[in-house]
A and B are shown apart, each in its own frame.
Chain A
Amino acid sequence: MTQKLVVVGNGMAPGRALERLFEMVPGAFDVTIFNAEPRTNYDRILLSPVLSGEKSYEEIVIHGDAWYRQNGVTLHKGRKVVKIDRASKTVIAEDGTQADYDKLLIATGSVPFVIPVPGNDLAGVLTYRDIDDVNAMLIAAEQGGHAVVIGGGLLGLEAAAGLKARGMEVTVIHLMPTLMERQLDAAAGQLLKRELESRGIKVVTEASTRQIAATDPCLGPPRVAAVELQDGTSIKADIVVMAVGIRPNAVLAKDAGLATGRGILVNDRMRTSDTDIYGVGECVEFEGNVYGLVAPLYEQASILARELAGAPGAGFVDKALATKLKVTGVDLFSAGDFADGDDREEIVLRDAARGVYRRLVLKDDKVIGAVMFGDTSDSGWFFQLIKDSVDIAGMRETLIFGPAYAGGGNADPFAAVAALPDEAEICGCNGVCKGRIVSAITEKGLTSVDEVRTHTKASASCGTCTGLVEQLLTLSLGEAYNPAAVKPMCSCTELGHADVRRLVVAKQLKTIPDLMQELEWKSSGGCAKCRPALNYYLLSTWPGQYVDDNQSRFVNERVHANIQKDGTYSVVPRMWGGVTTPGELRAIADVADKFQIPSVKCTGGQRIDLLGVKKADLPAVWADLNAAGLVSGHAYGKALRTVKTCVGSDWCRFGTQDSTGLGVRLEKFLWGSWTPAKVKLAVSGCPRNCAEATCKDVGVICVESGYEIHFAGAAGLDIKGTVVLCHVKTEDEVIEVTAALIQLYREQGHYLERIYKWLDRVGMESIKAAVVDDPTRRNALFEGFMHSQKFSQSDPWAQRASGSTDSHEFSPIANLTYMEAAQ
């Protein structure tokens, strides 16, 4: 019999609990969720990368709408529960929506603490808890100006780094003498402060806020102007972010008469004082502890799922936790307990030259705490020593140097990881054990941390376990694994493609020289690998603003024809959807005759290739083709290539829709756009699929009820069948979804990464979330594409045939052959 399970709050903890529950007992519960936030479930931990520009919202979505549909969950977005009626077993939302429950799960998370000073309610005073806060910060950051972050803990510093990356002047004010004092000792806190200051973030410690001053009311509605400290200092502020701590959100439970302390009191099975009501996540209190990190909450979620499924195992126990600051380039790790004490000893390593600091706190020959700054590569190993209470008496001498030296003479850096059992948990955030990672590496042929993230989720959240995942890669692949595998774009830089794309946006870089200066390119003027990539990134990021750098394009794209082995060129005019006319064919034939073009061939893309054209003839060939209405087919470009079609309902006895017409429409809509790698489409009129749509970058299969949109196929070096993106009813929707999909790819793809590789890297969930599930986001992408098309839909052949562009490109600047005669 299905039971009614109602969930209040839709954060990370209940999301995980439901995942586990559906795995164990599919269909056993009829689930209704109320979420005060107007959206599905996302990874709150990754808000900082969204703020800094390293990730987009779509990339941090955990469950998109499709997931709720698939699992039959009713999700009430943007509906906050205001009352739990335990007598009638009902919950009631602000707007009156009600739901009855057999079992109730409260997962209301925390609320950020706002310091009670005058001015704390002014416009421009923000907290840092959800994506709305991030969006508010991003809007403020667009104006530039000053940000003051109150609170020098994990959240405050991530907010500060993010706002700095977005171009604001940032000051952090912190009440205590050193930063992150709950996770770091004073020495590490000091190093951290210096590191942040070197990045241009001002840090004021031992600073207590007296009030937040407002702008002059005569100048419009008052908003924040400055933060004033107890000592009288005033710091200019256009926004203030308060990140001074969180409080479990237990009001709803308390009002319903459940037992609460700081949070909702639960037992080790997550049950509250009412046997039909459970609690999970940051809102609960267990044996006096409340939690603010995901690892223990996910543990709670698993226990809760087992409990609800009627298969209880071990109960919840309080364990050591590890923290990592998610600021790119700052390596900092802390785990366990590191307070001083008479029964404790410590081992400290300082290497000022390398900026490295390590401190281990020992008790009874066991490591109970570890702090690391500057080099955290061994943090996973130390954390394991803490979690497993390993007796370190035998390796005490060399302990601080890490696993490479442990065990004396025969140093084996991987002994510790190799010795872990398959069930050992590697990623606390996502509950991924060693066995799953190792089998994914070997079975799926994974070779980088990124790939492990996509396939197992290990190290995809806070990143603390990245070191362990790297060690598992080395163990499994040996030499074949290169740990420095944030593959630099080329030898001109240490940065990978993802970094460069992110920094182009975050630092508003708009020309290649600026970019090379700002990102400290190691060569003068780049190389043939990075320049075309940079040109594309700038072009796609700043449509209409960036001036295309022809000299940074590969010859084919520079001269709009494909170079051949003998230095001649091939010319492929567009043949929209593979449809042509006698007039066009005649023009092609005439051109071939007139310019004595040696070879005329049908391509694999349903059009005609003229091969062996002399470079000097190109403008004249184009002029003749243009005169017959033929334009460039971009057969040479990282751009839209062809849209293949079949005859469809116009002629074919099986055709369900006008596949030819739709193909032509798509090609006319998409042509001219530059993309990370080439993009090919096809439209087939029925599932017999004569246009081979299921091996294209985007393929449409017409069916009686509408159109199936497929994507991420290929049939070149790799053969890949497509995956289904969605089903739509009208041609207009096909166009909108396709344009949005291609735009997302244009914004996220790495240069030369085809759509199927991009999908592998970013995952289906994030693409669907943006292009299918969220109409607002889809529309924004569609509009973005339309905007960029304004600047790219003009025929490059016509520009050159008219002589207005690159006049000397096609003919020699001088002819000295007369010299021969002179001799």
Chain B
Amino acid sequence: MTAMENVWLDIGTIDDIPRQGARVVKTPMGCIAVFRTASDDLFALNDRCPHKGGPLSEGIVHGTSVTCPLHNFVISLETGLAQGADKGEVATFPVRCQAGRIQLEASQLARSKDAA
């Protein structure tokens, strides 16, 4: 497992994701949604809404939040926590941009899988 630490996996270029949008990465433990905000910050979250499993990657991105397309939960991209009166949490993952390439950290993916 330690072999995987600090291994950053290339998943595509920043231009593959529209601003205020998201794209999906398939992983062994399910889909991860990678979001790009208006100011080009990147976030990666489990693509399942804590409410009824709605695909967060399909929601409208605003500020550093996303609104779930099924019943409008608002989820913080930074913490994965549901905002306002709603309760719930989504797993978040380290993601970075290097020279225009988007990278996900591999160990986290694996550890989440163990936890799941």
Contact = CB atoms under 8 A, between A and B. Distances in A.
A523 B21 CA distance: 18
Contacts of B90: none
Given A554-B60, A563-B58, A817 B26 contact: yes
A819 B106 contact: yes
A555 B59 contact: yes
A819 B28 CA distance: 7
Contacts of B38: 524-525
Count chain A CB atoms within 10 A of each CB in B28, B31, B104, B110 and give the residue with the most.
Answer: B28
B72 to A, nearest CB: 7
A813 B34 contact: yes
Interface in B17-60: 17-21, 23-28, 31, 34, 37-38, 52-55, 58-60
A819 B26 CA distance: 10
B60 A550 contact: no
B11 to A, nearest CB: 4
Contacts of A528: 59-60, 62, 67, 72, 74
A816 B26 CA distance: 6
B88 interface: no
Interface in A771-823: 808, 812-817, 819-820, 823
Contacts of A531: 60, 62
Contact of A551 (B9, B11, B26, B60): B60
B100 interface: no
Contacts of A523: 62-63
B87 to A, nearest CB: 19
Given A528-B59, A565-B52, A814 B26 contact: yes
Contact of B27 (A556, A558, A559, A816): A816
Contacts of B23: 808, 812-813
A573 interface: no
Interface string A556-568: 1011000101110
A557 to B, nearest CB: 11
Nearest to A567: B55
Interface in B50-103: 52-55, 58-63, 67, 69-70, 72, 74
A525 B40 CA distance: 13
A80 B1 CA distance: 95
A99 to B, nearest CB: 63
Count chain A CB atoms within 10 A of each CB in B11, B18, B24, B37 and give the residue with the most.
Answer: B24
A812 B24 contact: yes
Given A524-B38, A551-B20, A563-B70, A532 B25 contact: no
Nearest to B25: A814
Contacts of B27: 816-817, 819
A526 interface: yes
Given A551-B18, A551-B60, A823-B110, A817 B28 contact: yes
A776 B38 CA distance: 44
Contacts of A526: 62
A816 B110 CA distance: 11
Contacts of B19: 551
Contact of A815 (B16, B18, B26, B109): B26
A529 B9 CA distance: 35
A590 to B, nearest CB: 28
A567 B54 contact: yes
A527 interface: yes
A816 B69 contact: no
A543 to B, nearest CB: 23
A554 B69 CA distance: 7
Contact of A524 (B17, B21, B63, B69): B63
Contacts of A550: 18, 21
A816 B23 CA distance: 14
A808 B61 CA distance: 17
Contacts of A553: 60
A816 B28 contact: yes
Contact of B60 (A552, A563, A814, A816): A552
A819 to B, nearest CB: 5
Contacts of B59: 528, 555
A817 B23 CA distance: 16
A614 to B, nearest CB: 12
B20 A525 contact: yes
Nearest to B28: A820
Nearest to A806: B18
Interface in A511-542: 523-528, 531-532
Nearest to A550: B18
Given A555-B59, A816-B11, A816-B28, A527 B16 contact: no
A567 B58 CA distance: 9
Contacts of A808: 16-17, 23
Contact of B67 (A527, A565, A566, A817): A527
A752 B38 CA distance: 25
Nearest to A811: B24
A62 B63 CA distance: 46
Nearest to A528: B67
Given A813-B11, A817-B28, A819-B109, A525 B63 contact: yes
Given A523-B62, A551-B20, A814 B12 contact: yes
Nearest to A513: B38
A552 B18 CA distance: 11
A26 to B, nearest CB: 54
A813 B67 contact: no
Nearest to B74: A528
26 contacts: A523-B62, A525-B62, A527-B60, A528-B74, A531-B60, A551-B60, A553-B60, A555-B58, A567-B54, A567-B58, A808-B23, A812-B23, A812-B31, A813-B11, A813-B12, A813-B16, A813-B25, A814-B11, A814-B25, A814-B26, A816-B9, A816-B27, A817-B26, A817-B27, A819-B27, A819-B28
Interface of B: 9-12, 16-21, 23-28, 31, 34, 37-38, 52-55, 58-63, 67, 69-70, 72, 74, 104, 106, 109-110
Please list the 5 inter-chain residue pairs (A to B) with the smallest Cβ-Cβ separation, ordered nearest first: A528-B67, A820-B28, A814-B11, A551-B20, A528-B60
Given A551-B18, A815-B25, A815-B26, 18 more contacts: A523-B63, A524-B63, A525-B20, A525-B38, A528-B60, A531-B62, A550-B18, A551-B20, A553-B60, A563-B69, A808-B17, A813-B12, A813-B24, A814-B12, A816-B109, A817-B28, A819-B27, A823-B110
